[in-house]
Structure 1
């Protein structure tokens, strides 16, 4: 186990070797292995649990602490519901080797076939190969990679699987990626391959032994492990072999972040990295703190794992006893010093009245992840399962019940806020409350833009929607490509851009194609006027001057994600590599305000610019903060 400074070895209560590891956090980690072995780490110790089988288990994955799957040979599927393991519905008798999902109703199982669980039943998805697939990973439910023997590479685009050419005939054992356009594959014979959004390329490997798994904290901090205790590290430029204190095969590696990583293998081997290399040193694990809020300098609350609640009185932190169960507490907020709320796993709601904590009675069993409000009887809480709750004089009431879906675009028009995302979801906020609006599509929606009385949404499969003031309707668009971004100079001049260099323009009556001088995936569009429009994408920046196109910047792999500006001579673009580019009217300059972070969106308004990604940055006259 890696705790941020060192790797240490842990003995697992298994009768045979460990094969796979997975967890939701530092105090909720599962390991599975041969002979039906399953054990759990609660933040302080590993304990064995009854699996009900003696068959070997090959993989473990879950959507949350109370929804975990373990799989094995001949269609064996076990499910953990938070209390016990039991047999679960299975798709067939074929041996399974990998499992992955984006949620409880979107699970993929790989073996000699590919099967999908939609929350109700398994369905078989045909493939173009008849091989035992070993690896599965994806950044979203509409973008998955599968791999196996002989360099087999398959990709799911949300509707079908298709094969990809591999530069190697080696067996693909595992994938890991930071985003869909930066994916690594590892496998037999020391295989190391990288996907850049356009093609796979093989990288030199410092070992010839089989690599079994990969995991990374960032694009420049990636680990790969394998046979003979092989441990490799990627620093963003080169792969190097790191000395290991074991010769046992390492079969899985997983981490919460760079400061919390586990690796497991044969005979229950668990390793942790020390400052001077890998070592077999035992160390305790402390519960994480997830949230902090205060009413004043001498009245601050912090909450975390194992029901942890801490209070700062201006002098020291002290642990506070509450009626909370030993679950993860994830959010804390108060309207005043004697009205404080804490939320967490299992529908936990705690309230402080200035003298004592009480647990709020509710029928809610979801993982409540955050709480916030405006006044004494006006609080909001959200759950990991996609529900939004509101508290008033009558207690907590569910306001919106939304299956877990990724939200991609947000826009405000005439005082109403809109949001769109996966599975065609469309949300609207009026008078402080969000509600779902009927959507004419199930395609993944990625962008919103509006002006005057016009509001547009765009997304996968060339989907373009328009709001007419009372309902959303489909608009005819001459493309089937994924559309990533929208922007317009006026109601009769709207641009949409997407993959493969797709550019569409609305003239007030119809959408038509525009041909830019590049086929790179485009991810952002913004302009200062009809005759000055900027497009950004994987390989650089394009500019439209009203008469023709020019290449403002060409740099393969720069991976620009968004562009926006304050004026014609004040434009910002951001990259998933953490780069920030600025146009001052004469040229583009670059900076990197923070390291080891990805940036995906930019917003400019008034005299401020905001950048968001794995960090939130704000720029004022004083600079970035």
Structure 2
């Protein structure tokens, strides 16, 4: 029932006092009046990206908000829709009553499964009609749906196939853990884990709550929320349970809650909603009741691209946190764009800029691009160096003797001695060098057709190395000359170990255009269609930043990470999650770097340079 997006939420932050409570400081939640639902309508769940919001509920109701207005979408089955999940709005799934499985291809909803009728036209008691209540999946498109009588369905990319859960309890939620395992939970304290063997294993949970929602934390622990009926109270009470992979522990046992219905990451903590308008914020100082402004049952949470949420429920209830959140319902529409912290800088050129480079050894800043363009930031302004030639320059670095290296089209590398350029390497092929890496003595260059060049203190010239691929290699990063990564087409990551290049995949089929990291256990990649990936030293995780535009470059410091791309797209990771960072431009951004004063600079089309102050 919850939006199954795994964010970087830390159990340590929850329980070691590191969460600063900044959840809007709400002064009352607001009903979205523009969502013209009937008084009897029930909303169960939703899904959102940059382009808009879907909200689903009873009677086959699915509303879509496109940034301007809410419209009801035609759905080919008039039964309740309980949960939505997808890799994009062009590949969006919805599940519901009578085993309903719907697919949205970006234009229309199509029934894929369920709602089987008998000869009299009524829904039959076929196993395919077992009601479904939760759906979640992986970035590669695999998905799982769960429902009544222990029903678990697996979508393998082609078909929805039943899996044996080993239980008959009603399952109400399913989530993906950071390590790739799948967790399903439901009635009577049932918690199931699908391990790498593809089998479901029941966990020993002594808390007989009816779990309706789950939130994975970054260390594979899980928060479970739900409720159970108490005779002495003549009603339901809520349970919040922490599972650390071995034991289950009830949290805040001394408090009395109404039944919880949904749980999601929010700001620097988590938000919980439930019966009778119950809404709580979980943070470092415990759990606090928020004023939702309604007594209607709240059944679901929709996480918006902005990081805000919408809570939905009975009687057409759809709430936003405050007026600011309501404004953010129109994310990235030019007339409603949030204030930018980026400032334009005069570059003195209208050429495309393909690279920007901060020489951290000498604290110099350079940019490069079309027609041999190389710029240097000197005495408070950008000035042009003599053109390298009439070819495009994609990457810059320091030469061993302190001169400036420039590499780009036709496989050429040039060196600037302070007065003029001279060619120091020529591949003699129409192959473009796209990236340079250096530690001051060892140099790597990478580019089209799997090109890798290397120059070491022992070599007098650049030497072409066997990369092991014919794929284009767009970006290079490494902490030292024995640990270098190069990224390329279809999720390719090439790894240099000091002796040879090995190939592996970052867990995506999208092209990767750049790579940057703080250490070997903290590496980021960006690429096609807003792809963002992170490597923690053990595994790659593709993070849902919800960008639609291609992301072409990434860099960062010890506090934050910045990714830039097409149409002026900028995303910033603040240590918790990726957020859109409006740059005040719709011009394509092709490169990003840190600045000597601790800020960031991005470069792109038409000579664009914009700076984000520290």
Q: Same fold (TM over 0.5)?
A: no
Q: Which has the higher strand share?
A: 1
Structure of greater relative contact order (alpha carbons < 8 Å, 6+ residues apart):
2
Calculate the TM-score normalised by the size of structure 1.
Answer: 0.44
| Higher Cα radius of gyration | 2
Calculate the TM-score normalised by the size of structure 2.
Answer: 0.44
